[in-house]
Structures are given as structure tokens and as C-alpha cells.
């Protein structure tokens, strides 16, 4: 959906970050939105007016009709429920609703911290942390995507945006395999038109704010 200044929906965004997940989600929604893009190096996300909207000072942040919504899991559920015509969330009484919620939070509460374990070589007992272990996360998510084509069967939802985006991130940094069930799932998800549009926008915004060169 083309970006516009006349809309109820604004995305605060930084290119080349995990805020890309929210951008992809908005493109899947098909609703007009305004993109407030900035370079993280500018410190825009740490300014008082921004912190008043998101005290964590992170991206992404969505403001919908004057209401700020932060944390990608909350953003996904909130927007998918607000814009039901997009079909990105089961109804509240649908039998698949619990599975939808589980996978939304699996992306942020299990996959992301498991990457932290992998990347930073954390040594923690699996019984003491919510994500268990990187190996357990990989096993569970692989089993989850194998029936296919999507996490809830034939229906693509916001949960797929979050999980596929997280798995793609893992691929880019060598944590997740580039072939096999999870790679096939990421390939299906990233073949969607909304992903292509989001990637083009991220590339454009990245060119506006090129990485700073170090001496």
C-alpha cells in the first residue's frame, strides 16, 4: 500500500534493523500508513518525545489514531485485530486463535533470546530460561513449519510474518540453515508481494541513511 501523509497509522522505522518485521506487516495489511524513518545513529529514538511514546527507545513503534503501540508482538496482534479484512489473525473465538498467539510470542520470547545464546555463547541451564536452548528452539520451530505451508496450515497470518522474519534474520547471520524445512518456509514467505515491497522500501531508506564509515 502506498505510503501517505493522510492516515491514522504511522510507523517509526530505522532501515537495516529488525523494525523491518513491522514494515512487512504493514505491507501485508494493505492499509495506508505514514513512514517516519530515521538513522539510529541520529539518536532520534532516544529523544524525550519519542521516549514518551516508547520508554524503551526502540524501533519499531506504531502510532494508530494517536495511540502508541510498541513491541512487535503487540503491534502484530493489535493491527491484525484492528484491520480484520486483511485476514492476518483468527477471530477471538476461532479454534486456531491460541496457536496464532503462541507463534506470535514464540518469535519474540523464544527465537530471539535463543539467538542471543547462540551469538554470545551464553552458558545457561535450559531449565532456568524461557527459551530452553537454541537447539530446542530450532527443533520446535522446524517441526512447526514442516506441515506447511504456513504455521496455521493454509492460512497466512501475522504470526508467519514474525516467525519468518526471525528465521530470515537467523539465516543472514548464520544461525539458521539455508536449506531444509525452515529455509523452505522462509523462501515461501519471502516470495510474497508484500515482502518484496517492504524490502524495496527498506533498501530505499537505507540509501537515505548509509552506514557510517569507520576509519
Q: Domain residues of the chain, as ranges? A: 9-87+195-208, 97-192
CATH code of 97-192, in short, is 1.20.1050.10
3 pLDDT exceeds 80?
no
9-87+195-208 and 97-192: same fold? no
153 pLDDT exceeds 80?
yes
Alpha-carbon span 209 to 37, nearest angstrom: 9
- Cell numbers linked to 63: 502510532
**Measured CA distances, 112 to 108, 165, 194 (Å):** 5, 11, 23
Average pLDDT over residues 150-164: 98
Torsions phi, psi for 185 (to 5 deg): -65, -45
Percent of the chain with pLDDT over 90: 93
Tens of pLDDT, residues 100-125: 999 999 999 999 999 999 999 999 99
- Which residue's C-alpha cell is 502506498? 2
48 pLDDT exceeds 60?
yes
Q: Residue 107 has what DSSP assignment?
A: I
Q: How confident is the model at residue 211 (pLDDT cuts 50, 70, 90)?
A: confident
Concatenate the DSSP letters of all residues of 30-87 into one string.
Answer: T--BEEEE--GGGTGGGSHHHHHH-TT--S-EEEETTEEEESHHHHHHHHHHH-GGG-
Q: Judging by beta carbons within 10 Å of its beta carbon (0-12, 13-18, 19+), is residue 69 exposed, middle or buried?
A: buried
Alpha-carbon span 145 to 127, nearest angstrom: 24
Helix (H, G, I), strand (E, B) or coil at 203: helix
Alpha-carbon span 150 to 183, nearest angstrom: 13
Q: Positive or negative, the Cα torsion across 124, 21, 180, 88?
A: positive
Q: How confident is the model at residue 6 (pLDDT cuts 50, 70, 90)?
A: low
| Architecture of the domain delimited by 9-87+195-208 | 3-Layer(aba) Sandwich (3.40)
Alpha-carbon span 110 to 143, nearest angstrom: 15
Q: How confident is the model at residue 210 (pLDDT cuts 50, 70, 90)?
A: confident
Amino acid at each position: 500500500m502506498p505510503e501517505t501523509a493522510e492516515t491514522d497509522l504511522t510507523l517509526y522505522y530505522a532501515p537495516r534493523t529488525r523494525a523491518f518485521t513491522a514494515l512487512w506487516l504493514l505491507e501485508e495489511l494493505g492499509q495506508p500508513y505514514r513512514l517516519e524513518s530515521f538513522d539510529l545513529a541520529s539518536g532520534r529514538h532516544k529523544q524525550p518525545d519519542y521516549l514518551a511514546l516508547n520508554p524503551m527507545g526502540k524501533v519499531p513503534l506504531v502510532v494508530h489514531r494517536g495511540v502508541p503501540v510498541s513491541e512487535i508482538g503487540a503491534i502484530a496482534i493489535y493491527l491484525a485485530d484492528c484491520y480484520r479484512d486483511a485476514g492476518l489473525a483468527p477471530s477471538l473465538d476461532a479454534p486456531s486463535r491460541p496457536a496464532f498467539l503462541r507463534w506470535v510470542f514464540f518469535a519474540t520470547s523464544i527465537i530471539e533470546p535463543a539467538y542471543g545464546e547462540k551469538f554470545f555463547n551464553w552458558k545457561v541451564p535450559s531449565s532456568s530460561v524461557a527459551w530452553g536452548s537454541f537447539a530446542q528452539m530450532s527443533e520446535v520451530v522446524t517441526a512447526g513449519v514442516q506441515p506447511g505451508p504456513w504455521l496455521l496450515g493454509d492460512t497466512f497470518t501475522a504470526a508467519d510474518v514474525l516467525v519468518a522474519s526471525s528465521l530470515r534474520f537467523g539465516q543472514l547471520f548464520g544461525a539458521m540453515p539455508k536449506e531444509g524445512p525452515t529455509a523452505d518456509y522462509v523462501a515461501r514467505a519471502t516470495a510474497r508481494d508484500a515482502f518484496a515491497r517492504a524490502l524495496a522500501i527498506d533498501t530505499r531508506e537505507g540509501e537515505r541513511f548509509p552506514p557510517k564509515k569507520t576509519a
